Amino acid sequence: MTRRHGLFGPNTVRIIALVLALGLASSIGAPYLIQAGVPLPAVIVLCLVVLAVPVLAILRSEKSKR
């Protein structure tokens, strides 16, 4: 069986790219979010979720190669 779209389908790649773009914006904008009144725990959770997405994608791709 061959894979047409690599490890992830085209929709999954778009979702990962969207999450990473939002995370990049939130990481850079974290000081501004805090200044605007967003609670610090919410900013930290947002940044951790964004960091978890590529890590989980790497772990999933390593697992599927075995």
**In a domain? residue 57:** yes
**In a domain? residue 3:** no
**In a domain? residue 2:** no
What's CA 52's distance to the chain center, in Å? Answer: 6
pTM above 0.75, yes or no: no
Number of domains forming the structure of the chain: 1
Q: Output the pLDDT for position 63.
A: 62
Contact present, 34 and 40 (Cβ < 8 Å): yes
**In a domain? residue 38:** yes
**In a domain? residue 1:** no
Residue-wise pLDDT tens digits, 21-66 = 777 777 788 888 899 999 999 988 888 887 787 778 777 776 655 5
**In a domain? residue 18:** yes
Residue 2 amino acid letter? T
Range of the domain at 51: 10-65
